[in-house]
Chain A
């Protein structure tokens, strides 16, 4: 995916987002097989995410299946004001993948083992992207502006499924340091992404 950047990318992004929303509306109104269209658009992105988090191809397949069936089931609950369909799908895959890996590994953090996943984890709330659609190279260049330890803290949390406490134990950094690395890393990433994104989009004055 080599999307153009600049204002053209912004228009393409919103056209793609509108098309996704139209498909999801069809899904919600009973055209079940339309979920296959969303799957075709986002299969490589969602499978890459599930695979990165679970590290297991079979489990990643289960996660993606579970996520798309969940998206189908909850299509009518999707709120356009809270982010694009793509972001919504990614957040569902992310939460299910994290959930699946946490169930597999023993941990002292989870209070009751294999208990049911809390509702916030089943129906995550996506947020509006800060900079519209960007291609992967642009995103990676934005990520490269983070310090190594910031990036490590974010990746251990987002891809590793570790809690801040677990990251602290893993890296030896105090909990407060882990928290501020995550926060400062996200803020730095936000600044870098905004600098790359289409102008006049999403920037509150």
Chain B
């Protein structure tokens, strides 16, 4: 067993001893840590690692090639396309806080998003079933900042969250809300989809990270009645957070809002509204 104590320093001779295991990927995590600590400070280029490492790709190439299932190509291209749409903001102007709420009609004339589908002609991307407003919503969710700061795990979770929103929004009778700071001061932005059965999916970026037990609690606010809690989520260093299994009452014309709460399970909002947006039925 290994212990997470201070890493014992190792010598250059030890590195030579570990080099083969390292290039093959067969070091224990503890050895890996020791080696990494040594290499990060050592002035010796340790050419023996590159010498042995240059052999390793031939191990993979010694295998008889195997044709993968034909579907794998599209799975990869779809995953890349979905992530590209979620992460790419190449709009002409610098990204500004999203005006809130934005009715679908108003953003239909946004910069030509349709062109994005050009290179993908002939395949049917995941968002193709949606109206252009939803596509714009997802594109506006560009996470350029997220990519800089988030871990791979957080990025992956964010992409799953966006995918869940897109999927929920495409359900019959679903409503889509674009979430932003009511005062326009915060970079926080996101989308929420409310399905006809009350299921809610939310993907957010640009939020301040949560600490301790803090959660961002999502609320559905109908034109009459008190805000109804529909679920909470935490936010990592990249500022993104997702809710994929929220559930609330079914009602037409609701506002989706987030507040920062000290812990999960709040029954009434205690903090100010961080972002909000009006859920609107999808055209078509």
What number of residue pairs across chains A and B have CB atoms under 8 A from each other? 193
Q: Which of B4, B25, B65, B155 has the most CB of A within 10 A?
A: B25
Chain A contacts of B53 at CB under 8 A?
125-127
The one of B59, B62, B72 in contact with A64, judged by C-beta atoms closer than 8 angstroms, is: B72
The one of B29, B54, B60, B75 in contact with A94, judged by C-beta atoms closer than 8 angstroms, is: B60
Residues in A23-75 with C-beta less than 8 Å from chain B: 30-33, 35-36, 39-40, 43-45, 47-49, 51-52, 57, 60-61, 64-65, 68-70, 72-73
Chain B contacts of A22 at CB under 8 A?
none
Q: How many residues of B contact A (CB 8 A)?
A: 58
Main secondary structure of the interface of A (DSSP, over half): helix
The one of B20, B27, B63, B84 in contact with A163, judged by C-beta atoms closer than 8 angstroms, is: B27
B50 within 8 A of A: yes
Per-residue A-contact encoding for B111-122, CB less than 8 Å = 1, 0 else: 000000001100
On whether the beta carbons of A158 and B83 are closer than 8 Å, the reply is no
A100 within 8 A of B: no
B67 within 8 A of A: yes
On whether the beta carbons of B72 and A47 are closer than 8 Å, the reply is yes
B binding-site residues for A, Cβ under 8 Å:
1-2, 4, 17-21, 23-32, 36, 49-69, 72-73, 75-77, 79-81, 83-84, 88, 90, 119-120, 151-153, 155
Closest 6 CB pairs of A and B: A157-B26, A127-B53, A44-B65, A47-B68, A130-B54, A183-B20
Query: What are 15 A-B pairs with beta-carbon distances under 8 A?
Result: A43-B68, A43-B73, A44-B67, A61-B72, A72-B83, A90-B57, A95-B25, A109-B28, A111-B1, A127-B56, A154-B24, A164-B21, A165-B28, A182-B21, A183-B52
* Known interface pairs A44-B68, A143-B58; 8 further A-B residue pairs with C-beta atoms within 8 A, sorted by A's residue number: A1-B65, A31-B119, A43-B67, A45-B65, A69-B83, A158-B25, A164-B21, A185-B20
